[in-house]
Amino acid sequence: MKIEQIYTGCLAQGAYYIESNGEAVVIDPLREVAPYIERAEKTQAKIKYVFETHFHADFVSGHIDLAKKTGATIVYGPTAQPGFDAYVAKDGETFKVGNITFEVLHTPGHTMESSCFLLKDENGKSVGLFSGDTLFIGDVGRPDLAQKVVAELTQDKLASHLYDSLHNKIMPLADDIIVYPAHGAGSACGKNMSKETTDTLGNQKATNYALQPMSREVFIREVTEGLTPPPGYFPSNVLMNIQGYDSIDHIMDRGLHAYTPDAFEAVANDTGALVLDTRAPQDFAAGFIPNSINIGIDGNFAPWVGTLITDMKQPILIIADEGKEEEVVIRLARVGYDYATGYLKGGFKAWKDAGKETDQIISIDAEALKKLQTENPEINILDVRKKSEHFSEHIIGAENMPLDYINEHLAEIDKNKTYYVHCAGGYRSMIFISILRSRGYTHLIDVKGGFKNLKESGLFPISDYVCPTTML
């Protein structure tokens, strides 16, 4: 028996490949399915099943393409109503894969169809729990996402279901079972996930806050407290996973159309496409196509695309470092942005060499900012980190304007004033500035290296919050 976790850091997502005696199962695959097929071919195994733990919100699963390409059967837990050929299993139903067995445990709470798959070895011993978004390492799945699709499912009702699922289905299992969750730290599907991506169930019973002894009422309060709004693309991804979607092959063919600078400019003008520049922030600042948006591929690219590009069907034209174009199209498709229509051949250099119009963003370091502040103590410093980051510590006098809610804050920014913008390290501040720049805000200056460099410089007073409970 082989168990392989295929972890994708930018989505904090774990897919799984399990093989026994020439047969295999893939659990919660990503949109691009070639790696799973190649893995099975490596050992001449047949992918028999694609197990889906639930209808995912944070990414578009590859279940449909993988089933079509391999002949595998897609399996969901009870109550699922997919809009394509799939098998909806009963609670407790078992599936044989080579010499091993999987048992379906219906565990509603994160969503109503959520199910775990309990792996039993050749001797019938339970050895692994593929827990989807029901149980994470250090956390449990947030119970407020399904209500975005089904209005009558309140987060309290879902949390109550989750309480029963954990206590009746998962906690009675043996302590030595290994938990294999669908996500780790960084995913928006939970609020307190560990950086570890597997653990024993026994250790989770001892350390996971949600598995400690408590009443149903206390549990509901604990798992719903402190939830932040999910990214706006989540409901659309759920519907794509329920109803179906275009083949990844079609998406790739369309997105990897190479345009010359002249053709790229014509398509952008004729279609109103969003020009998405995926280079590193400082490369973007040094020169970019006017009105393009910067979301760097070497960061939390897909979640930020999903948060900030509200129209998922808007055509997207890509600017990328040479050789990164395919990765960009794949990572867009993972979160349901299927309408990339091509990229600039030769990247920004080709645009510049063609004599096309370019723009720049001023980027200054901590020392330059301190000099400006000394000359004018009233300068406007914008901190675009999350509220929790700002509350933890910040430059005294800086105004918090989280990138997540940029549209809500537009009215607060005066186009005639100059703002010095920072985030934690420089990734989000460039996104923020590029978006506003495309909307006519020309007096925004990037603070290179973000809060990290500002703090390390020792030039700025830093807030020092004390937890209220320590002040009694």
Calculate what percentage of the chain has a pLDDT beyond 90.
89
The string of pLDDT tens digits covering residues 383-437 is 999 998 999 999 999 999 999 999 888 889 999 999 999 999 999 999 999 999 9
Query: What's the confidence (pLDDT) of residue 465?
Result: 57
* Mean residue pLDDT across the chain: 94
Q: Over 60: is that where the pLDDT of 446 sits?
A: yes
Q: Which residue type sits at 413?
A: I
Residue 274's CB: how many other CB atoms inside 10 A? 20
Tell me the fold of 246-353: Oxidized Rhodanese; domain 1 (3.40.250)
Confidence of residue 231 (pLDDT cuts 50, 70, 90): confident
Residue 110 CA to residue 191 CA, distance in Å, equals 13
The string of pLDDT tens digits covering residues 260-307 is 999 999 999 999 999 999 999 999 999 999 999 999 999 889 989 999
Collect all residues with Cβ–Cβ distance below 8 Å to 223 and sequence separation of at least 6. 140, 142, 143, 159, 162, 210
Q: Over 80: is that where the pLDDT of 197 sits?
A: yes
**How far is the CA of 183 from the CAs of 32, 189, 298, 424, in angstroms?**
18, 8, 19, 23
Helix, strand, coil % in the chain, rounded to nearest 5: 35, 20, 45
Confidence of residue 147 (pLDDT cuts 50, 70, 90): low
Lookup result for tokens 């020439």 = 22
Residue 388 CA to residue 399 CA, distance in Å, equals 13
Residue 134 CA to residue 121 CA, distance in Å, equals 22
Please list the residue range(s) of the chain that carry CATH number 3.60.15.10.
2-237
CATH architecture of 363-457: 3-Layer(aba) Sandwich (3.40)
Tokens of 406: 């940029």
Superfamily of domain 2-237: Ribonuclease Z/Hydroxyacylglutathione hydrolase-like (3.60.15.10)
Tokens of 399: 């105004």
Which DSSP letter does residue 166 get? I
Query: What's the confidence (pLDDT) of residue 178?
Result: 98
Please list the residue range(s) of the chain that carry CATH number 3.40.250.10.
246-353, 363-457
**How far is the CA of 80 from the CAs of 52, 71, 230, in angstroms?**
10, 21, 22
